[in-house]
A and B are shown apart, each in its own frame.
Chain A
């Protein structure tokens, strides 16, 4: 008995084909994961099932939910289906809730739309649902507004909304992508429990193979709007047939080879007891000012040519620390010394030339009206006699070649490049001035796994060719594990553990490090799976 059966589903938006002949099915109580990189059509498959597509979309094929073709339903019938038979959880818990309505009202709304339940009873059931997803009304009153909750708590509210009518099918579109690893693990557990308890089918859309490998019964791999491979999870991992699946798997767990750290290197960045405080709003009109310590007495050193990782969850102070390291904000205590000179808002620009940064967002961090040559030569403002004329052209070409682009790309505008290429341009911008230390602030987090693998290789190559030291800030433990020699674990403004990367990961000392490592989803070990698959149960 299948619950949802998608047959030969094709979809185009305007003239652009988005999905081509997608076919798969979900049984009650089954978890099916659709995975693939951006543009693979996985989210569109989910939205097509909800029929929440853009107006210009045209679909053909069948989406059968318990024997009824969703594509044949009228809009009022679809409204009756959405939220009642099919619930949906979205990626961005921060924006998926209406900011001006209470969480109780928003959960109760699902019930009120689909039944004649009186308002007070609907609120009561909303309370039960919120309790079920881990937000008991004693601690989280129904009168709370979304902005009074954390990201993970908001995602629980979204889940409560989606399951309030006990739908037969739940669609979760990247439900944990925006969350920290420990929160992610909790939300995934909750989804699994709900599937068991309600006997729902779960269609889970994710780009993260590691997340999927742990919980999905079956996996559907998509690329360019087509399904390239699908099968039972263990079977699929054990015996990947399609080269794309293999490539995706390889890229997800990509390992780079780092050159050896030079012997007895000299320190280039020293942070001693750094304290960064923010003033909180006064409690009363005349109350004393309270301060929040975002960075609380941190000390570490980065040596010449050394690759250091910094991991921690959102709100731990990583970004605050980055801004202080770049000298953008003054410290309230302690000191930061780069190349033997103090770093702060008044720092000599020449000092900043040795310390460059690459940010996360490859789309928002460039001026769209500037050409690539102007963008990547921006750091030249930091030095008193930047190269001119032919010398400048050569420096541009050299930087572009170093990051795997062509010298002719210098005349293009930024919109002509893909996300991965833009991140290469961001690295070229950091490299052109020949810095000794680069801060990578979540520099690969927004990239698809295959692009991420390429950028990680590039970073490893550059660390050898340019004898580069870097601080690699990331929430992604598997990435940090492969590209760094030493790692710092940060929690609530403090460094709770630091040491050789392999040592820390293999044998974590602090409980928080242990929690992080345990919560992080890991890819299954291929060789084990192969053995297991060959042995008949």
Chain B
């Protein structure tokens, strides 16, 4: 188990190093010099040069890469070109919206998807299964921003249970902040849970036809006991994979939902930074998202090993 974890950790570090190089190079080749963009088209060349020096754009690419990576390792992401504030601070503010939102949405999606998938699998081909599968089909087909608008219309405008948007901040109290995130989380979670429920169902159905499920029934377990004791844990591996992918999507892909609900999250930050050619912010946020994706995959790998003993001993 330790060996397996160490190997996964090593692969995590290598992936991060490669990702940082790729991100840096891609942003470098993107057209548009931040300094001339900030000063406008009529700027004097020497003014632009001065700004470039101030922004640290006048040294070699290798030097800039090393100072960027070196800074990140110490928690310093540099200074935003446009806002002239530390990027670390900007990201920290937004992460406290995006991360809780992603976790909230993932929790909701799991809470919906697991029972729905298990229910459908245990009633394969029966009306219950068909109903759940129909609902998930709808959940996948309908875009989440449409759900979002529908939720605002019903729960914020008509019923007035929630506010239509905005985020008061965690200082206003845990439940106040959580309440503000509820509608966006539901909007994000519903399509995800539809996918997850289908994966759960098909994964369980695969397992239900395995020989060891028949062995379990031959021991005297009822269908339900066999499903819970022998089916579920075996069915989890594909489900965990999808959950890992979904979390990464939820963290960054909430951009439309953040716009609909006026949430100051990472998605909006990166959107604004790209429009303003604020390359250092773009680089840093993208790197952070890549880090979270790789970290989540690492955690999913560890979860695999926890679920399946065969992975623990495989070296």
Hey, which bits of chain A sit against chain B, CB under 8 A? 50, 52, 75-76, 79-84, 87-88, 90, 92, 95-101, 109-110, 113-114, 145, 147-148, 158, 161-162, 281-282, 285
A88 touches B218 (CB 8 A): yes
Which A-B residue pairs are the 5 nearest by beta carbons? Answer: A83-B220, A83-B219, A95-B211, A88-B218, A281-B315
Shortest A2–chain B CB gap in Å is: 22
A99: chain B residues within 8 A (beta carbon):
212, 234, 308-310
Q: Does B214 contact A (CB under 8 A)?
A: yes
With known contacts A113-B225, A145-B309, A90–B220 Cβ distance under 8 A: no
Beyond A99-B234, A99-B309, whether A161 also contacts B212 by CB under 8 A is no
The answer to the question of B15 belonging to the interface, with a C-beta cut-off of 8 Å to chain A, is no
Contacting residues, chain B, for A75 (C-beta < 8 A): 222
Q: Which residues of B contact A90 (CB under 8 A)?
A: 211, 214-215, 218
Residue of B6, B212, B218 with most chain A CB atoms under a 10 A cut-off = B218
Q: Which of A92, A97, A113 contacts B221 (CB 8 A)?
A: A113
**Residues of chain B from 229 to 260 with CB closer than 8 A to chain A in the complex:** 229-230, 233-234
Give bound CA distance, A418 to B56, whole Å. 75
Identify the B interface with A (CB < 8 A).
Answer: 3, 6, 210-212, 214-222, 225, 229-230, 233-234, 307-310, 313, 315
Residue in A closest to B216 when the chains form the complex, CB atoms? A98
Task: Check if A52 sits within 8 Å of B220, measured CB to CB.
Answer: no
What's the Cα separation between A95 and B212 when bound, in Å?
Answer: 6
User: Is A145 in contact with B215, judged by CB distance below 8 angstroms?
Assistant: no
Q: Is the CB of A162 within 8 A of B218?
A: yes
Determine which residue in A83, A148, A285 has the highest number of CB atoms from chain B within 10 A of its CB, and name it.
Answer: A83
The answer to whether A82 and B217 touch (CB under 8 A), given A145-B310, A285-B6, is yes
List B contacts of A88 (CB < 8 A). 215, 218
What is the distance, in angstroms, from B220's C-beta to the closest C-beta of chain A?
Answer: 3
The complex places the Cα of A192 from the Cα of B158 at a distance, in Å, of 76
Residue of A76, A87, A88, A96 contacting most chain B CB atoms (<10 Å): A96
The answer to whether A148 touches B215 (Cβ under 8 A) is no
Q: Which residues of A contact B307 (CB under 8 A)?
A: 100
Main secondary structure of the interface of B (DSSP, over half): helix
Residue of A at shortest CB range from B220?
A83
* Whole-angstrom CA separation of A99 from B6 in the bound complex: 24
Docked Cα-Cα span, A50 to B215, in Å, equals 11
Residues of B within 8 A of A161 (CB): 215, 219
Contact of B219 among A76, A82, A95, A281 (CB under 8 A): A82
Judging by beta carbons under 8 Å apart, are A100 and B218 in contact?
Answer: no
* B313 and A147 contacting across the interface, CB-CB below 8 Å: yes
B3 to chain A, nearest CB (A): 8
- Nearest residue, chain B, Cβ from A83: B220
Chain B nearest CB from A89 CB (Å) reads 9
Other-chain residue from A79, A81, A87, A97 in contact with B222 (beta carbon distance below 8 A): A79
What residues of B have a CB within 8 angstroms of the CB of A148 in the complex? 313
CB pair B219–A113 under 8 Å, yes or no, is: yes
Kindly report which residue of chain A lies nearest to residue B229, judged by CB atoms: A109
User: Which partner residue on chain B sits nearest A91 by CB separation?
Assistant: B211
In the bound complex, do residue B211 and residue A96 qualify as a contact, i.e. CB atoms below 8 Å apart? yes
**B233: nearest chain-A partner, CB-CB:** A100
Q: How far is the CB of B205 from chain A (nearest CB, A)?
A: 14
* A110 x B219 contact (CB < 8 A): yes
**A165 CA to B215 CA, complexed, in Å:** 15
Most buried by A among B215, B219, B222, B230: B219
Q: Is the CB of B230 within 8 A of A110?
A: no
In the bound complex, CA of A87 to CA of B310 (Å): 28
- Chain A: minimal CB distance from B125 (Å): 9
Give bound CA distance, A337 to B277, whole Å: 67
What is the distance, in angstroms, from A45's C-beta to the closest C-beta of chain B?
15
Decide: B310 and A52 in contact? CB cutoff 8 A. Answer: no
Does A52 lie within 8 Å of B214, measured CB to CB? yes
Apart from A145-B313, A161-B215, 20 more pairs, CB < 8 Å: A52-B217, A52-B218, A79-B222, A82-B217, A83-B219, A84-B220, A88-B215, A92-B211, A96-B214, A96-B215, A98-B216, A99-B308, A99-B309, A100-B307, A101-B230, A147-B309, A147-B310, A281-B315, A282-B315, A285-B6
Nearest A residue (CB) for B10: A285
- Nearest residue (CB) in B for A94 is B211
Give 20 A-B contacts (CB < 8 Å), ordered by A residue: A52-B214, A52-B217, A82-B218, A83-B219, A83-B221, A90-B211, A90-B214, A90-B218, A95-B211, A96-B211, A96-B215, A98-B216, A98-B234, A100-B308, A100-B309, A101-B230, A113-B225, A148-B313, A161-B215, A285-B3
Q: Which residues of A contact B216 (CB under 8 A)?
A: 98, 109
Complex Cα gap A103–B56 (Å): 63
**Distance between Cα atoms of A82 and B229 in the complex (Å):** 17
Complex interface: chain B residues within 8 A of A98 (CB):
212, 215-216, 230, 234
**Interface contact A79-B234, CB-CB below 8 Å:** no
- Give the residue of B210, B222, B308, B313 whose beta carbon is less than 8 angstroms from that of A95: B210
What's the least CB distance linking B223 to chain A, in Å?
8
**Cα–Cα, bound, A81→B229 (Å):** 19
Whether A79 lies near B215 (C-beta < 8 A) is: no
In the assembled complex, the Cα of A103 lies from the Cα of B71 at a distance in Å of 52
Which of A84, A97, A98, A281 is packed against the most chain B CB atoms within 10 Å? A98
**B220 neighbours in A (Cβ, 8 Å):** 79-84, 110, 113-114
Bound-complex Cα distance A52 to B209 (A):
12
> In the complex, what distance in Å separates the CA atom of A67 from the CA atom of B233?
39
Residues of chain B contacted by A285 (CB below 8 angstroms): 3, 6
Task: Point out the residues of chain B lying under 8 angstroms from A81, CB to CB.
Answer: 220
Cα distance A282–B6 when bound, in Å? 14
A147 to B218, CA, bound (A): 21
CA gap between A416 and B51 in the complex, in Å: 77
Closest CB of chain A to B91's CB: distance in Å?
34
Report the separation of the CA atoms of residues A114 and B313 in the bound assembly, to the nearest whole angstrom.
33
**Residues on the A chain within 8 Å of B215, using CB:** 88, 90, 96-98, 158, 161
Chain B residue at minimum C-beta to C-beta distance from A80: B220
Alpha-carbon separation in the docked complex, A17 to B97 (Å):
63
Q: Which of A83, A97, A145 contacts B212 (CB 8 A)?
A: A97
- B309 near A87 with CB under 8 A, answer no
- Choose from B217, B219, B234, B313 the contact partner of A100 (Cβ within 8 Å): B234
Residue of B nearest to A143 (CB): B309
Docked Cα-Cα span, A113 to B228, in Å, equals 14
- What residues of A have a CB within 8 angstroms of the CB of B3 in the complex? 285
Residue numbers in B under 8 Å from A76 (CB-CB): 222
| Cα of A51 to Cα of B210 in the assembled complex, Å | 17
Which of A79, A145, A281, A285 is most buried by chain B, counting CB atoms within 10 A of its CB? A79
Cβ-defined contact, A50 with B310, below 8 A: no
Contact B222 A83 (CB under 8 A): no
Q: CA of A79 to CA of B310 in the docked complex: distance in angstroms?
A: 30
Expressed in whole angstroms, the minimum distance between the Cβ of A359 and any Cβ of chain B is: 23
**Min distance, Cβ A56 to any Cβ of chain B, angstroms:** 11
Select from chain B the residue with minimum beta-carbon distance to A86.
B218
- What's the least CB distance linking B2 to chain A, in Å? 11
A81 to B273, CA, bound (A): 68
B6 — which chain A residues lie within 8 A by C-beta? 285
Residue among B212, B214, B230, B313 with the most chain A CB within 10 A?
B212
Question: B218 near A50 (CB under 8 angstroms)?
Answer: yes
